Amino acid sequence: MENNGQVTDALQWGYSLANVSEIMTPCLDAAGVKSLLEIGSYAGELTEVLLEWAEGSGATVATVEPLPPDRLRDLVRRRPELELIEDTGVGALAGLSELPDAIVIDGDHNYYTLTQELDKIAEMAGDQALPLLLFHDVGWPHERRDTYYAPDRVPESERQPLAKDCTIAPGNPGLSDGGLPYEYAAAFEGGPKNGVLTAIEDFMKRNEGLELATVPVFFGMGMLWPKSAPWADEVRELIAPYNRNPVMERAEANRVAHLVRGHVDAATIREQQAKIARYEELLGRLLSSSSMGVAERLTKLRQRGNPVFTRQEIQDLLDQE
């Protein structure tokens, strides 16, 4: 994976915070971050970018992933300085002796999980200032709608009404007939205790003196910091040009619309291909049937030598690519 100022997964979802690393890493430097924890690394796209940043800053990087895919394990083998914690976010936090300087939270995108992680961080901080916190998916679709990697990890009483193998689209607060596919998602958008940004805002109500900025591209990056931190003004100044930037908001809305349209078109193509496959299978069975030959001869007799169809015509049609 290469970043170098380019989208890390062109023509795909744009799901990695690595896509906004040029905005993120100067803020890490401004905050003097020397230890960083990433909750939810998945395949390690951002993790690799953070390791490259850490080489220059002298920081340490640890990443949390309960079920690490092969690509992440390969990164750990190649970069032995990376600490991999195979646990949930709350479990990993509970195992720390002290909080790191910065925490990137990009795990399970639902209100309950994120709230548990944030409350654990606040508990560990005690009377001390919170670390610099960074989030992914503070924009659509997770902004006001829960999704779940593993619903069983969330108490049933804390889960939104659940939809399975569903699709969602912007502008539709329910489920859509085509759109971005999710294995588990809240059946409805909005309302109490629903979504990533909702969890962050509610956390801020319980903990005074915090400031939030949101960068509205690639599903949205959020940055939360204590106003009392000695580096707060510098971070605010760095993030200000991107915070709720209206041009970025319009560009993201356009990107998401095309992304959803692409998924709808792809689903339509798959349906058409499946239908064609059924037609081909049926025609193949007809060709191999002895009754087809009889029918061809009968139509030839009735049409005075010009049959309505021939088996060769059907075979030629099946042979076309």
Does one domain contain both 170 and 312? no
pLDDT band per the 50, 70, 90 thresholds, residue 4: very low
Distances (CA, A) of 278 to 7, 270, 282, 317: 39, 12, 6, 14
Distances (CA, A) of 58 to 84, 97, 232: 18, 20, 21
Does one domain contain both 97 and 118? yes
Q: Which of 71-75, 189-193, 248-252, 282-286 has the lowest mean pLDDT?
A: 282-286
The CATH number for 22's domain is 3.40.50.150
Q: Which residue has the higher pLDDT, 276 or 75?
A: 75
Mean pLDDT of the chain: 88
| Number of domains, the chain | 2
Structural tokens at position 240: 């200000």
Counting other chains too, the contacts that 205-213 makes at CB distance below 8 Å and 24 or more residues apart are: 206/122, 207/122, 207/130, 210/130, 211/236, 213/239, 213/240, 213/242, 213/243, 213/244
In a domain, 2, yes or no: no
Separation CA 282–CA 287 (nearest Å): 9
Separation CA 52–CA 58 (nearest Å): 10
pLDDT band per the 50, 70, 90 thresholds, residue 83: very high
Does one domain contain both 194 and 69? yes
Q: Which helix (H) or strand (E) holds 164?
A: strand 162-168
Q: According to DSSP H, which parts of the chain are helical?
A: 21-30, 45-57, 70-78, 89-94, 111-125, 196-206, 232-239, 246-287, 290-302, 311-319
Model pLDDT, residue 198: 98
Model pLDDT, residue 8: 42
Structural tokens at position 125: 């901080």
Q: What is the pLDDT of residues 146-202, one digit of tens each?
A: 999 999 999 999 999 999 999 999 999 999 988 899 999 999 999 999 999 999 999
In a domain, 50, yes or no: yes
Q: Among candidates 87, 90, 96, 89, which has minimal Cα distance to 60?
A: 96
pLDDT band per the 50, 70, 90 thresholds, residue 2: very low
pLDDT band per the 50, 70, 90 thresholds, residue 110: very high
Structural tokens at position 256: 């998401």
- Structural domain of residue 53, as residue ranges? 17-265
119 burial type by CB count under 10 A (0-12 exposed, 13-18 middle, 19+ buried): middle
Model pLDDT, residue 178: 85
In a domain, 7, yes or no: no
